A = this chain, B = another copy of it.
């Protein structure tokens, strides 16, 4: 990893990982992916029911960015009242195993990490 590559990777636009992490790193994306993985196809308000603590706005924003990245497919049924369905794409399916690895790692280490945080709080408190 020489200076030039590091310089490039410090730039969000040019760094592949930052491009991806900036999306899955936000507050709701991961949860939406996991719910859609389990339920396969859901309408907007069904998703809202599963993830009741999200605001309508943030659910909309999250779904738009997932759709833009080609991770979620949005199907509109032209009827009244409108019906819109969301489901994962193959691209999202290929990402999900890595997410599950992260979930597993987190579950395994979260207790130790929280203990570390508390200890750090104590030793750094003046």
Contact = CB atoms under 8 A, between A and B. Distances in A.
Contact of A20 (B52, B53, B98, B102): B102
Q: This chain: how many copies in the complex?
A: 2
A80 interface: no
A102 B21 contact: yes
B68 A105 contact: no
Interface string A87-114: 0000100110010011101110110111
A69 B116 contact: yes
Interface of A: 1, 3, 6-7, 9-12, 16-22, 24-27, 30-31, 34-35, 38, 50-54, 67-70, 91, 94-95, 98, 101-103, 105-107, 109-110, 112-114, 116-117, 120-121
